[in-house]
Amino acid sequence: MQRYQDVIAIAANKDFGCRAAAESKLIDVLGPVLEISHLLHRLKKWMKPSRRSTELLFAGNRAKVVYQPKGVVGIICPWNFPLYLSLGPLVAALGAGNRAMIKMPPNCPEVTRVLQRMIGEIFATDHVTVIAGNHPNAMQISSLPFDHLIFTGSPQSGRQIMANAAENLVPVTLELGGKSPAFVAPDADINDAAKRIAHGKAFNAGQVCLSPDYALVPEKKVSEFISLVKKHYLAMHPQTEGGADFTALIDENANQRFLSALDDAKKKGAVITACGELGAGRQHPLHIVSAVSDDMTLMQTELFSPILPVLGYCSIEQALDEINARPRPLAIYLFSHDKALQQKVLVTTHSGGVTINDWGWHAFNHDLPFGGIGNSGMGSYHGIEGFRTLSHAKAVFQRNRFYPIGLFYPPYGTQIQKAVMRFFLRQPDTNLDVSNTEERSDAMNTKNFEHAESNLVDALTRFAQQTPDKTAVVCGGKQLTYKDLDLHSNKVANVLREEGIKAGDNVALSCPNVPYFPIIYYGILKAGGVVVPLNVLLKESEIAYHLQDSEAKAYFCFEGTEQLPMGQSGVSAFTNVETCRKMWVMPAGDELGLDVSGFQRQTEIVDFSSILLNGSDEPVANNIEEQDTAVILYTSGTTGRPKGAQLTHRNMHSNARVAVGLSWLTADDTSLVTLPLFHSFGQTAQMNACILVGASMVLVPRFEPGAVLQLMKDHRVSVFAGVPTMYIGILNYLRDNDVSLDGIKGVLKMAMSGGSSLPVAILTQFDETFNVPLLEGYGLSETSPIASFNHVDSDRLPGSVGQPVTGVEMKVVDVERNTVAVGELGEIAIRGPNVMRGYYNRPEATDEVLDIDGWFFSGDIGRRDERNNYFIVDRKKELIIRGGMNVYPREIEEVLIRHEKVAMVAVLGVADDTYGEEVKAYVVAHDGFDDADALIAYCKSQLADYKYPRHIEFRAQLPMTATGKLLKRELKAEVEKSSQ
């Protein structure tokens, strides 16, 4: 193309009689060159098999799409841009691995000869061949049994081409043009719009399928617009006939159509503003036509000539009605800077493409699809769309050899088959009368979707009706059936309604893994409220902050124990937050031991037992929608102040379904819940997942390895989830104690890990000890939390957190949020139904991490390999993961700096065999102070137990910049070097 550019321009000039060399080079030479360059830089990526997710029912198997050539592609191109419109499709065809036959137009013999020579230099004729002349013609070519056919031309010819191709069942891509409007909005810069439209009509003498075919202009500005178009046209073409930059109409047929259209318009009363005299040959200036009517020829067919009809409009709606009343065009050109109007036009009109504040350029950007819709065509090409259009997407399903495919074999009716069908199909409507079509239609409209589950509470109600006596929750010696859990949560919901809690109100909950948690959790949701679960290790000031920041209207708090006096802290915090109107304290034993008589607002603090004794267990009517917020989970950022991530019912429900698929959870399973339920992993992967399928859960208030192993035996636990610290604890306990695994091995079928990176040695050792897969994943509170996970049938690569789960997309981006290449480091970004709606009352913080396309930018640094496995290289800046819990150094630094003896402090995470990371503070002290124990005790009194530093190192100074900024990165590098 580069070598032949002058030859091409000369050939086109001969075919047209006069063709501007610049226009030939811009479209017929540069266009294909850009298309080729675009493809060469991306083809390797496009060709790779595409990993696809499986349905939850088939979790553990593999699915992918393999792209292969279709075969031979036929390309029938027009005369207006004979090289661009033949080589563009050819590039896509060759990129997809096909062979091609190109049928050139008969009125471009010179360009055809050049193309044949160029193609002959590179390709054998059985790879690419070029057909010249009119024998065979386009209609005869379209009757051949191609594997795909691309036609560019008029809608009339397109219909016949498609009919011919249908005889051989050949798929067809049609690019048919049509009447593309230029819509000049009231707010538009009318001078700029006139200039752009004048260029569009002058380019190639208007012989462009994308040329503005008519203009819609505010009625009061029509005269001004016409004058401006004429001015700009004459500035571009001061010389018409005989000018080298002035392209002629292609042949005498085109010339006669142009003259006839003008003559018809004159006879029917149109006003014609000519930008010069008609030429003696086929070179004519632009003619602007106003006072047009629909019966004129120029408003009934595509013009393909230098004629611009101008229609005035009185309102936006009238202009949109004018566009929508006509066949769908190849393009719409909107001239407006009003974002709302731009969106309205995009939503309320149909066209192949849109260019805003100019004409045609969307078709010259090869990462955008090019094609029409309706009368203007079907299908598209350019870029990846061209590759996909001309490739066969072959679906490949690979069954995992351990997948129980026998589940689908007769004899039918096994327990596991029934469980699967209940989960996926829910309950049939037994009241349907299929004997009458109208009644059946009504039933489908009013009943069949009435109980479709889209929130977190419907499944609980369903199983309370279907299996009321099935065990839902076990804790210590206590047991709740599904009926018990449903009725108790109804009592909570009714009391909240009585206290004035409305839909969307936030209600806080401080509770360990005891039956109170699910009772209150689902009760709040049934009332239409939003659950704000709080870490049970928070101190008084921290609880007060969360109550204040979340604007909680009510608060449920467990009484606590001697070792964990959380009730005392909760009551103290509540009394200092006036916006929180009511508090219930759940007793640790049979009776409430906490005396609240000495507290202010004591009348607003109530024993929770009164709800269970006196509350109404009648079902609560709710109108919960999937987009309603269900939970606000607090997570810190680099500022150190906790932020509330708002998770909707859809977020949590969809992620719980994912957890069900990952863990093979069914109604026959029992899950041991050691993960704290105030944490997103415990809520989603265990509690909500169990309720979703009607499984049983055994709650563990405090993790102790020996007790956990005994509970596994006693309750025949089949599913377990934990953080790495728990798995390390279990394996260490087994190493130091003689424990039989009878009753565990063979029953336990799945184990899951999250929260922080799991050492490969621990993963392998657990697999070998229990003979079950231990799957590791990745997620955040903001992603409900599961974003990626390893699968049973996948090779578990060291350090990998697996692949994106069903419905979730992930990518790795650079600092400008552009996707990086495979293997390169960058920030992990996540998109899917699991991503939060935003941070509560923090729009700026939300905008920092969520973009307009729904991508959540995690702040975590990682990479991706060729098989779409993700690896987390570093956590969020400065974040410490201690035993699966997030610790943010800034929060600890702010506590330490308040100590009178601390001059400067930096907090880092240091490696620890038990917790993965431990918290260490590097302190510059006043007056030679060096009492580490005193500082640790001080922090312990101010911070949750998992947060306070276990190690203090005193230093004379910390690394600083010249401007006095702490160089924490240098400190971390120094510490890591000294530890080697």
The pLDDT, as a whole number, for residue 687 is: 98
Q: How far from 438 is each of 428, 430, 441, 450, CA to CA, in Å?
A: 19, 17, 5, 18
Interacting residues of 662 by C-beta distance below 8 A, sequence separation 6+: 59, 685, 752, 775, 777, 786, 789, 791, 805
At residue 443, the pLDDT reads 31
Q: Are 385 and 232 in contact (CB under 8 A)?
A: no
Query: 167 near 362, Cβ under 8 Å?
Result: no
**DSSP state, residue 302:** -
Per DSSP, the three-state class of 970 is helix
For residue 753, the cross-strand partners are 722, 776
Q: Which two tokens stand for residue 730?
A: 């279990």
- 714-723: pLDDT as tens digits: 999 999 999 8
Backbone angles phi, psi at 873, to 5 degrees: -90, -40
CB 174 within 8 A of CB 389: no
Dist. CA 593–CA 591, nearest whole Å: 6
Q: Which residue has the tokens 């923090």?
A: 842
Q: 339-348 and 316-324 helices cross at what angle (nearest 10)?
A: 30
Look at the block and give the residue holding tokens 């999250």: 754
Position 482 scores a pLDDT of 97
* Distances from the Cα of 385 to the Cα of 7, 97, 126, angstroms: 31, 15, 25
Catalytic site includes residue 175: yes
Burial of 154 (0-12, 13-18, 19+ CB in 10 A): middle
Closest CA to 241 of 205, 273, 200, 272: 205
Question: Locate tokens 């599913």: which residue?
Answer: 719
Query: In the chain, which residues fall in CATH 2.30.38.10?
Result: 800-874
Q: 5-176 sits in which CATH class?
A: alpha beta
In angstroms, how far is the first alpha carbon of the chain from the final one?
59
How far is it, in rounded angstroms, from Cα 591 to Cα 297?
Answer: 91
Query: What is the rounded CA–CA span in Å between residue 467 and residue 378?
Result: 52
Comparing CA positions, the residue from 507, 511, 498 lying closest to residue 525 is: 507
DSSP string, 472-512: EEEETTEEEEHHHHHHHHHHHHHHHHHTT--TT-EEEEE--
> 863 near 870, Cβ under 8 Å?
yes
Long-range CB contacts (< 8 A, 24+ apart) of 612-617?
A: 612/488, 612/491, 615/490, 615/491, 615/492, 615/494, 615/495, 616/490, 616/491, 616/494, 617/487, 617/488, 617/490, 617/491, 617/494
Ranges for all domains in the chain classified under CATH 3.40.50.980:
458-624
Fold classification of 458-624 (topology level): Rossmann fold (3.40.50)
CA angle 404, 410, 411 (to 5 degrees): 115
Instruction: Just give the CATH number of 880-979.
Output: 3.30.300.30
Collect the ranges in the chain with pLDDT lower than 70: 240-242, 416, 426-427, 430-452, 597-598, 636-640, 756-757, 792-795, 874-877, 960-966, 979-980
pLDDT at 112: 97
Token pair, residue 906, equals: 């930096």
3-state secondary structure of 795: coil
pLDDT digits (tens, 9 = 90+) for 640-681: 578 999 999 999 999 999 999 888 899 999 999 999 999 999
Cα gap 654→807, rounded to integer Å = 9
Position of tokens 């006036």? 578
Choosing from 23, 175, 302, 626, the catalytic residue is 175
CATH fold of the domain at 180-365: Aldehyde Dehydrogenase; Chain A, domain 2 (3.40.309)
Q: Which residues lie closer than 8 Å to 684 by C-beta, 6 or more apart?
A: 652, 655, 656, 659, 784, 785, 786
Q: How far apart are CA 941 and CA 947, in angstroms?
A: 11
**E strands, 53-159, where?**
62-69, 72-76, 99-103, 128-131, 148-152
Strand order in the sheet with 353-356: 271-274, 287-290, 307-313, 212-218, 180-184, 331-335, 353-356
Position 277: which residue type? E
Q: b or e along 220-248 (b: 16 or more beta carbons within 10 Å of the residue's beta carbon)?
A: ebbeebbebbbebbbeebeebbeeeebbb
Q: Is 429 helix (H, G, I), strand (E, B) or coil?
A: coil
Q: Are strands 172-175 and 377-378 parallel, antiparallel or unpaired?
A: antiparallel
Q: Is the peptide bond before 785 cis (omega within 30 degrees of 0)?
A: yes
Residues in the chain: 980
The DSSP output letter for 26 is I
CA 544 to chain centre: 35
Tokens of 528: 């239409």
CATH architecture of the domain with range 800-874: Roll (2.30)
Please state whether the peptide bond connecting residue 136 to the residue before it is cis, i.e. omega within 30 degrees of 0. yes
Query: Please, where in the chain does CATH 3.40.309.10 lie?
Result: 180-365
What is the DSSP track for 738-764? ----TTTTTT--EEEE-SSPPPHHHHH
Instruction: Note the Cα 237 to chain centre separation in Å.
Output: 49
What is the C-alpha separation between 167 and 667, in angstroms, rounded? 53
Distance CA 816, CA 231 (A): 42
pLDDT 10s digits, 560-587: 988 788 999 999 999 999 999 999 999 9
- The first and second tokens of residue 942, run together, are 């101010």
Cα–Cα distance, 58 to 404 (Å, whole number)? 10
Side chain identity at residue 926, one-letter code:
H
User: For residues 264-280, b (16+ Cβ closer than 10 Å) or e, as one string?
Assistant: ebeeeebeebebbeebe
